[in-house]
Structure 1
Amino acid sequence: MLDPSLFGRLSFTPAEPRQAPLPPGRHPLGVAGARDAVLFVPDGLDPAAPVPLLVMFHGAGGFPEKVLPHLEPHAQRHGFLVLAPHSLFPTWDIVIGGCGPDLERLHQALTEVTSRYRIDPRRLGFAGFSDGASYALSLGITNGDIASHVMAFSGGFMSVFMQEGTPRVFVAHGLADEQLPIATSGRANAAKLKAAGYDVRYVEFDGLHVIHPPVVEEAIEFFLQ
Structure 2
Amino acid sequence: MKEELQQYLYKAFGNYPPYATNNINLDYSIGGQVHIRFELGGELLKNGTRERVAQASQRAVTLFKEAFPEPENKIWVLIYEYSGILINETPNFLCQQFPAEVFAAFYNQVERVYECVGNVYELGKEHNEGNNCKIIIGKVKVKDIKYQHILEAIANSEMGFEPAIDSRVYFIDPKTDRIFRMYDDRGCFVESNSADKIRELYQRRNDWIIDYHRPEIDKYFQQFPC
The question of a shared fold, defined as TM-score above 0.5 by the shorter chain, is answered with no
What's the TM-score once normalised by structure 2's chain length?
0.29
Please, what TM-score do these two structures have when normalized by structure 1? 0.29
